[in-house]
Chains A and B, each alone.
Chain A
Amino acid sequence: MSENIWYVAIERAVNNNIPRVKSILERHTYISDARAKLRQAKLEVLSNLKEYVDMTMESVRRNGGNVYLAKDGEEARSIVEKIVGDKNTIVMGKSMVAYECGIRQHLINKGKEVWETDLGEFLIQLSNEPPSHIIAPAIHMTREQASKVIRKIDSTSSAQSHEEIAGEARKFLRQKFINAEVGITGANAISADTGSILLIENEGNIRMSSIMPEVHIAIAGVEKIVPTLEHAFLEVMVQSAYAGLYPPTYVNLTSGPSSTGDIEMKRVSPAHGPKEFHLILLDNGRFKTADDPILSEALLCIRCGRCHFHCPVYRIMGQKWGDPPFTGPMGAMWSYVVYGDGKPSLLCAHSAGCREVCPMDINIPKVLERIKYIAQK
């Protein structure tokens, strides 16, 4: 990708996103209280992480789901592989943690047919590139480039407009949803008290991925746990508002496999949705990070992607800054949290636009100062 294309793409994204977030926050003033409450709730979980993981696991089991704690990406891959077994067709809803663990590539290597279903991720998969932004993974791609990429599924396609490109993807993926045996998603929030996961989206692909296949696997970092279902709702509200997508078109709540109580009020499972629900909670450096009073702030990140747009380094470097899927200021923190890579932090110019806009009030420059320090030791 040439630098000029990147500048065009980021300029368009910034000019679309920043004013939109501003007007959302001005119109829905309660979001400000929600984020303060959410920060407190997440701090509470981080200071008692082990207890909250145990509580969550117990709640998921109570709902008839299966739950695992994976210490790293390798363990997560092997858990997924076992669950998938001899099933072959898999659809994925956008999940950074699945990317972090290399799930898609691992399953493809095992001969499975795996499709990303979020349009951005789908384009990234087709073009075989790393994502460049956490909520808009194909942000570096202009419409003109996307139109070329979509021809990989249909060389006769003449799709040019945003609508036409989305239409081609919809046509292609519809069949994949119908045939999929396993759906893999992430989770925006997990409530410890009810063992529920919440997922927000606008495309409908996550709803399809989590409902249509017989098996639903959700994979998420342990930092996604919040004390109660109320906090989980706060998290999806705040995340979508700060991402500039408020109200989210869909909020998906899943608490175990599908069930029905329609015969004599006896709850039996499955009904129409998946008959198996699996939640994989991932450590991969998060427990260690939670113990460091400065670094632990990084775990408050709700992946809204707002800090990226207010960072001069990201505006120049894009996906080249950080270890995929982590880019931007949050990515400089998270490259260290999960991959132990301190080098991205060295490029932080401590301009602090990120801190100014972060809904979780993460002192990102301070976290990066600490990582710079550790990286040079």
Chain B
Amino acid sequence: MDNSVKQFLFNTMKQEFTPFPVDKSICTGWAEGEKRGGETILYTGCMYQLAPLSAIFNRISPIVSRMSSPQLILGMAKKVHPEKRELERSYKILRRISSILKKNGVDFGYLFEDEPYSGAFLLELGMLDEFEEYAKLVKDKLLSMGVKRIITVDPHSQNALSRYSEFFAFNIEVINYLDLVKDVGESRSKGTYVIHDSCLYSRFMNKRDVYRLILKKSGVSIKEDYMVTSKENSLCCGGPLAPVNDGLSSEIGKYRATQLKRVSDKVIVQCPFCYTNLSPYVEAIDIAEMISL
């Protein structure tokens, strides 16, 4: 990603608390009927909703950065919406996560348009000073709204928010929804599936067994293969590289999908970016789409 683009995004982020200029109604569209605010919040980071747009953004940003006024064009991103089918899918996932948590007795609110982006991509690009500066703003915003506990729904937000305390004191509890799901119903899924583990969930947060257990309780049939799905051998989907090198990111996605297909042609993911990077090459299904209430 070009430096001028990075700077532009950083400035936008500080003002609007979104990863790039975006119409905020895209982020909140799923949440009709959700309680506003509260001490415990369900935190989407707008990741599921924006993942399809991020893919487009990453593809065009190198071209845009070579233009004479990239800021002007990037500013127009606010007018772009994800494809309806993709957006509806992300809303369905978020609504389902919300229902599952409620069924499990978890009480929470949602911050709607006040929900700040976590800053994950600054962290993942190694822009640590910018991440720290931005994260402090997020912390203040969350504290000003009385937030004490955050329930994340994706690995990138979980990772970014739980690393705030490496940079400054951060006393808001950050927990992932998968850890709160104890009771699930019988899944209506048929056939055998292979799990593509999110790298962050699997190797940074040790959650492999958490979602395997959920799937087992749901009665989903999972096939494992040491060379493809073990902790040491499962490979990345390439998603985190999309802002840096979109071509390489897609190549990795394709390579990973080919490996997974050798085990099963139905792949369970737990991250919106894994879905975006793998779904062009294999049928990918989010874990929240798999489990029933």
- Interface residue B128 (Cβ < 8 Å from any Cβ of A): yes
Contact A356 B203 (CB under 8 A): yes
Of the residues B126, B199, B233, B252, contact of A352 by C-beta under 8 Å: B199
Shortest beta-carbon distance, A212 to chain B, in Å? 41
CA distance A346 to B248 in the complex (A): 12
- Interface residue B9 (Cβ < 8 Å from any Cβ of A): no
- Interface residue A349 (Cβ < 8 Å from any Cβ of B): yes
Contact A353 B233 (CB under 8 A): yes
Residues of A within 8 A of B238 (CB): 312, 349
Contact B241 A347 (CB under 8 A): yes
CA distance A375 to B126 in the complex (A): 9
From A104-112, A173-181, A313-321, give the one contacting chain B: A313-321
- Interface residue B11 (Cβ < 8 Å from any Cβ of A): no
**B199: nearest chain-A partner, CB-CB:** A351
Residues of A within 8 A of B38 (CB): none
Residues of A within 8 A of B60 (CB): none
Interface string of B53-71 (1 = CB under 8 A from A): 0000000000000000000
- Interface residue A94 (Cβ < 8 Å from any Cβ of B): no
Contact B203 A355 (CB under 8 A): yes
CA distance A351 to B238 in the complex (A): 9
Contact A372 B204 (CB under 8 A): no
CA distance A264 to B253 in the complex (A): 71
CA distance A228 to B256 in the complex (A): 44
Contact B126 A369 (CB under 8 A): yes
Residues of A within 8 A of B129 (CB): 373
CA distance A15 to B3 in the complex (A): 40
Contact A18 B233 (CB under 8 A): yes
Contact A347 B234 (CB under 8 A): no
Q: A353 and B235 in contact (CB under 8 A), knowing A347-B244, A347-B248? A: yes
Interface string of A341-376 (1 = CB under 8 A from B): 000011101111101110000000000111111011
Of the residues B3, B127, B199, B227, contact of A349 by C-beta under 8 Å: B199
Contact B232 A357 (CB under 8 A): yes
Interface string of B128-145 (1 = CB under 8 A from A): 110000000000000000
Contact B248 A353 (CB under 8 A): no
Residues of A within 8 A of B256 (CB): 312
- Interface residue A310 (Cβ < 8 Å from any Cβ of B): yes
Interface string of A44-61 (1 = CB under 8 A from B): 000000000000000000
Residues of A within 8 A of B127 (CB): 373, 376
Contact B199 A350 (CB under 8 A): yes
Residues of A within 8 A of B231 (CB): 356
Contact B227 A15 (CB under 8 A): yes
**A352: nearest chain-B partner, CB-CB:** B203
CA distance A22 to B233 in the complex (A): 11
Residues of B within 8 A of A371 (CB): 126
Residues of A within 8 A of B235 (CB): 310, 312, 315, 351, 353
Contact B248 A313 (CB under 8 A): yes
Residues of B within 8 A of A356 (CB): 203, 231-232
- Which chain B residues numbered 161 to 186 have a C-beta less than 8 Å away from chain A? none
- Interface residue B82 (Cβ < 8 Å from any Cβ of A): no
Contact A353 B252 (CB under 8 A): no
Interface string of B236-280 (1 = CB under 8 A from A): 101111001100100110011000000000000000000000000
- Interface residue B125 (Cβ < 8 Å from any Cβ of A): yes
Residues of B within 8 A of A373 (CB): 126-129
Contact A347 B255 (CB under 8 A): no
Contact A312 B126 (CB under 8 A): no
CA distance A345 to B203 in the complex (A): 19
Instruction: Select the residue from A18, A19, A310, A349 with max chain B CB neighbours within 10 A.
Output: A349
Of the residues A15, A316, A353, contact of B203 by C-beta under 8 Å: A353
Residues of B within 8 A of A317 (CB): 248
Q: A351 and B203 in contact (CB under 8 A), knowing A357-B232, A373-B128, A376-B126? A: yes
Contact B251 A316 (CB under 8 A): yes
Residues of B within 8 A of A357 (CB): 232
Of the residues B126, B236, B241, contact of A345 by C-beta under 8 Å: B126
Interface string of B71-85 (1 = CB under 8 A from A): 000000000000000
- Interface residue B88 (Cβ < 8 Å from any Cβ of A): no
Contact B232 A310 (CB under 8 A): yes
Contact B255 A316 (CB under 8 A): yes
Contact B244 A346 (CB under 8 A): yes
**B127: nearest chain-A partner, CB-CB:** A376
- Interface residue B225 (Cβ < 8 Å from any Cβ of A): no
Residues of B within 8 A of A375 (CB): 126
Residues of A within 8 A of B252 (CB): 312-313, 315-316, 349
Residues of B within 8 A of A313 (CB): 241, 248, 252
Given contacts A18-B233, A312-B238, A316-B255, 8 further A-B contacts (CB under 8 A): A14-B227, A18-B227, A312-B236, A312-B252, A313-B248, A347-B241, A349-B238, A373-B127
Would you give 7 A-B contacts (Cβ < 8 Å), ordered by A? A312-B236, A313-B248, A316-B252, A316-B255, A349-B241, A353-B236, A376-B127
Which 7 residue pairs across A and B have the least CB separation, nearest first?
A372-B126, A351-B236, A352-B203, A312-B235, A351-B199, A356-B232, A312-B236
